[in-house]
Amino acid sequence: AQLDTLAKRAGKVYFGSAVDNPELGDLPYKTLLSNASEFGQLTAGNSLKWETVQPARGTYNFAGGDEILALAKQNRQLFRGHTCVWHSQLAPWVEAGRFSAKELTAIIEDHCSRLVGHCKGEIWDVVNEAFEDDGSYRKSVFYNTLGTQYFETALRAARKADPNTKLYLNDYNVEGINSKSDAYYTLIKSLIAKKVPIDGFGVQGHLIVGQVPTNIRENFQRFAGLGIDVAITELDIRMVLPVTPEKLEQQKRDYAAVIRACKAVKRCVGVTVWDYTDKYSWIPSVFKGEGAALPWDEKLQKKPAYDGIASAW
Give the shortest CB-234-to-ligand XIL separation in angstroms. 6
Helix (H, G, I), strand (E, B) or coil at 127: strand
The rounded distance, in Å, linking the Cα atoms of 148 and 128 is: 14
Angle, CA 53 vertex, CA 50 and CA 57 arms, to 5°? 80
- Cβ-based nearer residue to ligand XIL, 155 or 312: 155
Helix (H, G, I), strand (E, B) or coil at 53: helix
- The single-letter DSSP state of residue 288 is T
Give the shortest CB-83-to-ligand XIL separation in angstroms. 6
- Cβ-based nearer residue to ligand XIL, 128 or 272: 128
Give the shortest CB-204-to-ligand XIL separation in angstroms. 6
- Cβ-based nearer residue to ligand XIL, 46 or 250: 46
Contact present, 150 and 102 (Cβ < 8 Å):
no
> In what helix (H) or strand (E) does residue 237 lie, and over which residues does it extend?
strand 229-240
The rounded distance, in Å, linking the Cα atoms of 48 and 85 is: 11
Contact present, 290 and 240 (Cβ < 8 Å):
yes
- Cβ-based nearer residue to ligand XIL, 184 or 282: 282
Tell me whether residue 62 is exposed, middle or buried, using C-beta atoms within 10 angstroms of its C-beta: 0 to 12, 13 to 18, 19 or more.
middle
The residue sitting closest to ligand XIL, measured at its beta carbon, is 282
The rounded distance, in Å, linking the Cα atoms of 89 and 104 is: 17
Q: How many CB atoms lie within 10 A of CB 46?
A: 19
Give the shortest CB-156-to-ligand XIL separation in angstroms. 22
Q: Footprint of ligand XIL on this chain (CB under 6 A)?
A: 45-46, 128, 204, 234, 282
Q: CA nearest 148: which of 107, 186, 97? A: 186
For residue 83, cis peptide bond before it (omega within 30 degrees of 0): yes
Name the active-site residue from 95, 109, 234, 290: 234
- Cβ-based nearer residue to ligand XIL, 162 or 234: 234
**Which residues make Cβ contacts (< 8 Å) with residue 193, sequence separation at least 6?**
none
Give the shortest CB-202-to-ligand XIL separation in angstroms. 9
Annotated active-site residue 234? The verdict is: yes
- Cβ-based nearer residue to ligand XIL, 2 or 178: 178
- The single-letter DSSP state of residue 81 is E
Give the shortest CB-268-to-ligand XIL separation in angstroms. 19
Q: Which residues are catalytic?
A: 234
